[in-house]
Structure 1
């Protein structure tokens, strides 16, 4: 039998943002800074757009890891922010693990810094606990391409699905006709070049004045 297509469902998922902190993000070298910021905020806007539950967490944010990125909290004001005092694997923190469980969702969309630690460790734990886990590759960052690839292989071998933030958004949306302008706005703001496509659509539909 072919493997089942575990399709993301906007009513069944929770977004986990792990350790997107001002100190740790300075260690990200597998993406250019502006590109990484665009990707992370694209995923944050996706969570907000679909009204899916989200959980934010930081690791030792009183130390050099620094506070969480402000734009994330601003965009997701209702998401709990779990400030872990020291646990490296977020799932080792009872408050975080309980916050994930409390959502009642079995599809977990996870991103974070660093990929091989802050994403991989909780992702592997969640797989072990029976969740379907989707790691967002371009909203997670690390030191080098080769460390990222090793983390991806480790997670994939355990059953974690790997995809980028635009694929997450598209799979949740299912059909452009649900909301062309609203959904398109996320892509316009966070996918380079997509603003031209949206301008073409708005011009052809006589809605260019609404931009």
Structure 2
């Protein structure tokens, strides 16, 4: 019973700019053909909003991927809003198998890892499972991710949830990390919602 309570408290503890880290997985144009479970414009909008959160809260961020061959090029959001991110190239589906990634995540020293990635069911899922296996608490940003089939995407979310990960949206993260509108960050988040959220009317132009 105490163990169950401990697990519940771990995942109900609020995310803050001081206790969590971002990992951005493979935001590269070469993977666009497999992105079929979310409209491309919506995906890019959400991923950009997520990247802006790392700037607003000045949080440590690891950026995975490399500009080569079939992978294409990084989305502009990487250079525009993740320029201070720690770049890690790898040759493995899960970044956990890349020594530099483990070195950087251990150096940051935070247990709560917020993961967003273009392939929810492959690289994002495999990294998430490895992080969980090694004692980290993982929050997967589902609306800044995608897959090639709804069924595959659903299976990936089920597996990660069953393994202990939490599914979140960028909007949830924005408000949770902010905590108080009466702060400089609160003002920035208000602007972020106006620019990227349906709550601010942004989606109206291509949802109606």
Output the TM-score relative to the length of structure 1: 0.86
Residue pair 2:193, 2:199 contacting (<8 A) in 1 also? no
Q: Following TM superposition, by how much is the alpha carbon of 1:71 offset from its aligned partner in structure 2, in angstroms?
A: 2.0
SS in 1 for 2:130: helix
SS in 2 for 1:134: strand
Measured in 2, the distance between the counterparts of 1:76 and 1:63 equals 22
Unpaired runs of at least 5, structure 2:
203-208
The answer to whether the aligner puts 1:47 opposite 2:43 as a matched pair is: no
Q: Following TM superposition, by how much is the alpha carbon of 1:36 offset from its aligned partner in structure 2, in angstroms?
A: 0.5
Q: After TM superposition, which residue ranges in structure 1, 4 or more long, deviate above 3 angstroms?
A: none
Q: 1:73 to 1:96 in 2, by over 3 A?
A: farther
Unpaired runs of at least 5, structure 1:
197-211
Residue pair 2:175, 2:189 contacting (<8 A) in 1 also? no
SS in 2 for 1:16: strand
The answer to whether the aligner puts 1:72 opposite 2:78 as a matched pair is: yes
SS in 1 for 2:88: strand
Output the TM-score relative to the length of structure 2: 0.88
SS in 1 for 2:121: helix
Q: Following TM superposition, by how much is the alpha carbon of 1:195 offset from its aligned partner in structure 2, in angstroms?
A: 5.2
Measured in 1, the distance between the counterparts of 2:74 and 2:173 equals 22
What is the aligned counterpart of 1:38 among 17, 28, 45? 45
Equivalent residues in 2 for 1:62-211, closer than 5 Å? 62-84=68-90, 86-179=91-184, 180-194=186-200
Question: 1:17-46, CA deviations, whole angstroms, 9 ceiling, x for partnerless residues?
Answer: 011111113321111111001100010011
Question: 1:57-80, CA deviations, whole angstroms, 9 ceiling, x for partnerless residues?
Answer: 116x42211222132122122211
Residue pair 1:58, 1:67 contacting (<8 A) in 2 also? no
Measured in 1, the distance between the counterparts of 2:174 and 2:188 equals 12
SS in 2 for 1:135: strand
Measured in 2, the distance between the counterparts of 1:134 and 1:14 equals 10
In the comparison of the two structures, how many residue pairs are matched? 194
**Superposed CA RMSD:** 1.6
